[in-house]
Chains A and B, each alone.
Chain A
């Protein structure tokens, strides 16, 4: 929008000590200066946050939020198989997200607090 990121990309790529493969990575279409690099990491962040929340008491776990996370994860796992190109890293990411959601719901169910807010 303001053209800052391409300028930053050019500036970083101009540093002399980068080997050729790093310059290729920096300038690539799905490199660290594009949104396509960071969006899968954000999705992994949901799974990581959920794993971190497994140490917390179940009262702090939001049932509806975990239902949405699990359901979205499962549906997007299926979606990743039917789109082209098939991206297996995205399949694994969404599957992990669904599993963490389901496990949190299981924790709540074990303590009989699945339907308490």
Chain B
């Protein structure tokens, strides 16, 4: 009779790149970046850090290319960085539009 802990799933669980190792969790935790950007979909633009968003967009853009240049190519990593670059870029654009509207409000303010 086959053991309860045999089969493809349990073989994977106990493997050297399975969920008991850092090899598995390190790429998984990379996905927290786009998940955080989704959670902050409606974040107040005054509380968005422009510099950090710029850096995250550049970081993900470069790693998109890196994921396709490494051997073996990692399409999952490519997708993750594509989502991250798009979502963090959206937060950056929100911040820039808010700054622009603030600037316009100051310029339009009637001077007595």
Give Cα distance in the complex from A79 to B28, angstroms: 12
Q: Does A22 have its Cβ within 8 Å of any Cβ on chain B?
A: no
Cβ contacts under 8 Å, B49 to chain A: 49, 53, 56, 60-62
A61 to chain B, nearest CB (A): 7
Q: Does B25 have its Cβ within 8 Å of any Cβ on chain A?
A: yes
A60 to chain B, nearest CB (A): 5
The secondary structure that dominates the A interface is helix
Q: Does B76 have its Cβ within 8 Å of any Cβ on chain A?
A: no
Cβ contacts under 8 Å, B63 to chain A: 39, 42
Residue of A nearest to B33 (CB): A68
A19 to chain B, nearest CB (A): 28
Q: Does A92 have its Cβ within 8 Å of any Cβ on chain B?
A: no
Q: Mark A21-39, 1 if CB is under 8 A from B, else 0.
A: 0000000000000111011
The secondary structure that dominates the B interface is helix
Sort chain B's interface into a size bin: 20 to 34
Count of chain A residues with Cβ under 8 Å from any Cβ of B?
A: 30
Cβ contacts under 8 Å, A38 to chain B: 62
Contact of A71 among B23, B29, B52, B55 (CB under 8 A): B29
Q: Are A46 and B47 in contact (CB-based, < 8 A)?
A: no
Residue of B nearest to A116 (CB): B47
Cβ contacts under 8 Å, A45 to chain B: 55, 58-59
Q: Does A76 have its Cβ within 8 Å of any Cβ on chain B?
A: yes
Cβ contacts under 8 Å, A117 to chain B: 43-44, 47
A64 to chain B, nearest CB (A): 5
Q: Are B58 and A62 in contact (CB-based, < 8 A)?
A: no
Q: Are A46 and B22 in contact (CB-based, < 8 A)?
A: no
